[in-house]
Amino acid sequence: MEIIIQPDADAASLAGAAVIDALIRRKPAAVLGLATGSTPLTLYRELIRRHREEGLDFSRVTTFNLDEYLGLAPAHPASYHFYMRENFFHQVNLSAARAHLPDGLAADVPAACRRYEEQIAAAGGIDLQVLGIGADGHIGFNEPSSSLASRTRVKTLTMETLRDNARHFTDPGEQPRHVITMGVGTIMDARTVLLFAFGPAKARAVAAAVEGPVTASVPASALQLHPRAVLFLDQAAAGDLRRREYYRWVHENKPDWQRF
């Protein structure tokens, strides 16, 4: 794992955007895995800026989002379809046909999950997956106890996640308890993983994921087994890392040839 601790969330987001920019310029038909939540908002804003001002071209890019609520229509303001349209898709030149999210309204959910995996494989696999992290250590919506080999499927949210995400629902009765999410195994197949975590509420989960044992109790800890997982943290999210001075030292002393 590579741990990059930045002065603040904006600096971490900009550094992550530069990695994605470099990938797309090197490989214009790149396949991106995308995340929702408050964490990647600045990352998306910076990618939009680079599109508008620096010619970053998404016309051949394909995207697959991590997850979607079961039972929410794409027009629902708390759906991840809605979030992606508002915060990213509509502001870059990404083809709608190449922007994928799990179908929260699928009539046959297991078949839709299998098809999602097939679509990812048919696109050649995910080059770079963007991740946030839940306060309980989840990635995507892979809650604690998720199999580390899991593929896209339905999950039941924990009470903690329901509480954390309740702010997105004006009517609490509309908040689904079930979601479709890529599995931990799906995420682990991505060739590069960038995980972003900001703020003190994420410090415990980050420390468990980076310095704790690899365990299904902290799904993000599976990234310890990933050959190219990079964590972009602000000071607060790095606050519980015992070896944070070492991670800073590594970053400062990184040979030029090893930099992104």
Residues that bind ligand GLP (CB under 6 A): 35-39, 66-67, 132-134, 140-141, 161, 165
Residue matched to tokens 């989960």: 205
Residue matched to tokens 């550094």: 15
| Residue number with CB closer to ligand GLP (165 or 221) | 165
Shortest distance (Å) from residue 255 CB to ligand GLP: 31
Shortest distance (Å) from residue 134 CB to ligand GLP: 5
Catalytic member of 68, 136, 189, 234? 136
Shortest distance (Å) from residue 157 CB to ligand GLP: 8
Give CA–CA dist 25/57, Å, rounded. Answer: 8
Determine contact, residues 70/109, Cβ cutoff 8 Å.
yes
Does the active-site annotation cover 240? no
| Residue number with CB closer to ligand GLP (93 or 145) | 145
Catalytic member of 46, 67, 127, 189? 67
| Residue number with CB closer to ligand GLP (198 or 247) | 198
Strands (E), 173-239: 178-181, 192-197, 229-233
Catalytic member of 138, 189, 226, 234? 138
Chain residue whose CB lies nearest ligand GLP: 132
| Residue number with CB closer to ligand GLP (24 or 66) | 66
Does the active-site annotation cover 256? no
Does the active-site annotation cover 189? no
Give CA–CA dist 122/110, Å, rounded. Answer: 18
Shortest distance (Å) from residue 67 CB to ligand GLP: 5
| Residue number with CB closer to ligand GLP (137 or 192) | 137
Ordered DSSP codes for 118-162 = HHHHHTT--SEEEE---TTS-BTTB-TT--TT--SEEEEPPHHHH
Running DSSP on this structure, what letter comes out for residue 105?
T
Report CA-CA distances (Å) from 207 to 7, 187, 239, 241.
18, 20, 8, 5
- Beta bridge partners, 2, equal 230
Report CA-CA distances (Å) from 124 to 85, 109, 120, 128.
24, 23, 7, 12
Shortest distance (Å) from residue 199 CB to ligand GLP: 8
List the catalytic residues: 67, 136, 138, 143
